[in-house]
Amino acid sequence: NIQPAFFAANLAHEIYMNKATAKNNNETLSRSALRRQREREERYQTILKAAEKLCVKEGYHQTSINKIADLAEVSVGTVYFYFKNKEDLLAQLLDEISYLFRSRIGAEFQNADSTLEGFMNAGKMFFEEFCQKYPEKVAIMYRESIGQSQLLDEHRLKLNEKVLKDIIGAMQRMSENMGFKFPSETAIEVIAVSIMGIYQSIASHYLVSNEMNRDIKEVGEVAVNYLVGGVRDMCGIK
């Protein structure tokens, strides 16, 4: 039996534990301490957003801590209070984008009860909502964080590994739910890797590079239909 190890369960547990910890901590904090905590969290997010905008607009190497501090309307010392350096800042930004990415895309597999419909909806969610709603985050994922440093490569690798497991888990659940079998475990892994590669390539080509004036929704629909058609053909699904 396939264990329900789909990432949503892990995310739900993580959220529950974070809320429980926050609740316990808040019970022992004064009102003034809670206010300071909220202010620190707001400054943290403000700095991240400023870094995101600047990295996408000017590029990672042209973005300085001074520029980030200026856009965030905080001192340079404040930025260094939260982050060791620019590399650490982008790594933490990438982690936040990773969490958002996985929570949005993965939810579609759950909502559609592990069917091909869910498979298609997850793809549509990526192109029609995530790419259009968060183009700057897509640029960070697929352009600004690539090849910049070993630390950033490690964070991107962790994201890719988690997304790969998400897709493989969803496909296994879909296979069990719909009563068909993939030729092998290798076939499932190859399809999952292909999905990641195709989505990244399309997002980079049609959205991040801005070289093609095409409707990303239409492009995404073609890509999703192509992938779903391949799964149908491989598994003999009518």
Q: What mean pLDDT is predicted for residues 108-115?
A: 65
* Model confidence at 60: pLDDT above 50: yes
| CA nearest to 48, candidates 163, 137, 157 | 137
Residue 11 has pLDDT above 70, yes or no: no
Q: Is the model more confident about 93 or about 104?
A: 93
Half-sphere CA count of 212, side-chain side, radius 13 A: 13
Provide the pLDDT confidence category of residue 112 given band limits of 50, 70 and 90: low
Across the range 57-63, mean pLDDT stands at 91
- Given a cut of 80, is residue 22 above it in pLDDT? no
The pTM for the full model equals: 0.74
